[in-house]
Amino acid sequence: MKEASVGAKALVFVLLTSIAFAGGYFLGLDGDESSPIHTTGGKSSPGKEQGADGISPLGSVARKNGSGSSTFAPGADRPEEGRARGKSVRQLLFEARAESSPITRLSAFAEALSDLNEDNLEEVLEAYETLPFGFEHMQEYRMLLYAWGQFDPAGAIEYCNKRASGMGAGFATTGVLEGWASRDPESARAWVQDPKNAGMARLYNMGLVRGWASQDLQAASRYVESLEPGDDVGKLVSTLSNEYYKQGFGPAARWAEGLADETMKEAAFANLSRQVSRDNPGTVAEWLQDHVDQPYAVKSFENLGKRWSETEPKAAMDYFEELPDGKARSEGVDGIMENWAKKDPQAAGEWLNDKEVGPALDPVLATYARVVSGEDGAAAMNWAMAISEPELQTRTVTKVGQNWYRQDKDSVEAWLPQSELPEDTRKAIQNPPKQNWWQRLTNR
């Protein structure tokens, strides 16, 4: 049972959000294939289509307005029509910048950059000159640096270092490396492994592997497996997992099972289970059955429980209750209860009522009480008091009591003298920590 403090959870959220934006700036978020069309070989290259076992189809970017008519920008020509009428890439990009619809805007940028080359690079950069080099334009810059990195990576990297510094330039350079590695992975790898780039090598590997995997997935996998294990390698494994899953669940599962390093295997299992569990929980459940006692699969079982519970919490509980006692079972059940209690507290409570109270049920009771206390502290307290393990009960009662105190101070003050709680627990309940806007919103 995880009992993280309110302040810690808020801090983690802020940090993860910042990292997600920074990492997604030029690389895009792993598992998210909604980013603009990549340019390869001078032509736009749409994503791979749906496979037999549930891969989401990736079509071309929509180019229609709300009325359904095909448009580029109000009063402007489509990029290909503009070229036919003699419009320069510079003109097309300035028209794209004026477009308010993000779909039409990014589609127009993709069209304009689809044949970026040494001859038109200068006019393209002129259009980008006053475009802020920040998060709000991350997709426009990702397309530019990807396309530029395919034919002049050295020039593109120099541009990144002029427009930004430190980590900002580093993240931008990953976008160049993605395009570079999609054309010439060995040269891109040699650049990343040059001793002068050692300080940023872990970051640069993100772009290198993403681009390399799009061109030669097996070679990219061998490269990642040759690296020293670490958190950054786990992120690279997630990138590989996304690519393997495009071939189907079977090939992706076999690849994950074949990884020798336990840390990498854990990352691959976790990413694959996170991708598939919500829409195809039965497939993941059957797959994980053979790995139930393995430490590398614990996170995957947790993912399965959380995702499955979003659609079929009772079925998910039935599956996990059949698993042998252990971390996989407990983490899965805990994740299911957290989602179930949020979505349908009455049904989750009825399920708990049918269970025998005891140590095995304590973590689930704690999760249920904590979640329900966000809306009904008084009802949640009854569940919290039913926990048998003293330390877990104290933590949960305190958390639930503080939520209840925020909701109905007078009722709590009337209840506390009869509660038989220790004096320090009563004082903690009567002095709940202040919450910021995010904590008040989630009330966890």
pLDDT value at position 442? Answer: 60
* Reported confidence tier of residue 251, pLDDT bands at 50, 70, 90: very high
Q: Is the dihedral of CA 68, 72, 74, 77 positive or negative?
A: negative
**Residue 151: which pLDDT band, with cuts at 50, 70 and 90?**
very high
Return the pLDDT at 379: 95
- pLDDT the model gives residue 437: 61
Instruction: Quote the pLDDT of residue 10.
Output: 38
Q: Are 23 and 206 in contact (CB under 8 A)?
A: yes
pLDDT for residue 219 is more than 80:
yes
**pLDDT on residue 439:** 59
Mean pLDDT of 429-441: 76
- For residue 240, what are its two tokens? 């590989």
Q: Please tell me the predicted confidence (pLDDT) of residue 195.
A: 95
Q: How many residues does the chain have?
A: 444
Kindly report the number of other CB atoms within 10 A of residue 266's CB atom.
21
Question: pLDDT tens digits, residue range 311-342?
Answer: 999 999 999 999 998 999 999 999 999 999 99
Q: What does the pLDDT read at residue 434?
A: 83
Buried b (16+ CB within 10 A) or exposed e, 345-380: beebbebbeeeeeeeebbbbbbbbbbbbbbeebeeb
pLDDT at residue 30 in the model: 39
Q: Contacts by 163-168 with C-beta closer than 8 Å and gap 24+?
A: 163/133, 164/133, 167/22, 167/203, 168/133
> Reduced to 3 states, what is the DSSP secondary structure of residue 85?
coil
Q: What is the C-alpha end-to-end distance of the chain, expressed in Å? A: 14
- pLDDT score at 70: 32
Alpha-carbon distance 87 to 85, whole Å? 6
User: Who wins on pLDDT, 71 or 297?
Assistant: 297
Report pLDDT for 441. Answer: 57
- pLDDT at 288 (0 to 100): 96
Pick the more confident residue, 73 or 220. Answer: 220
Q: Dump pLDDT digits (tens) for 116-147.
A: 999 999 999 998 988 888 788 899 999 999 99
pLDDT at 75: 36
As a whole number, mean pLDDT of residues 60-85 equals 38
Percent of the chain with pLDDT over 70: 78
SS3 sequence of 321-351: HCCCCCHHHHHHHHHHHHHHHHHCHHHHHHH
If pLDDT is split at 50, 70 and 90, which confidence band does 2 have? very low
CA distances from 164 to 172, 206, 224, 260 (A): 8, 18, 28, 39
pLDDT bucket at 366, cuts 50 / 70 / 90: very high
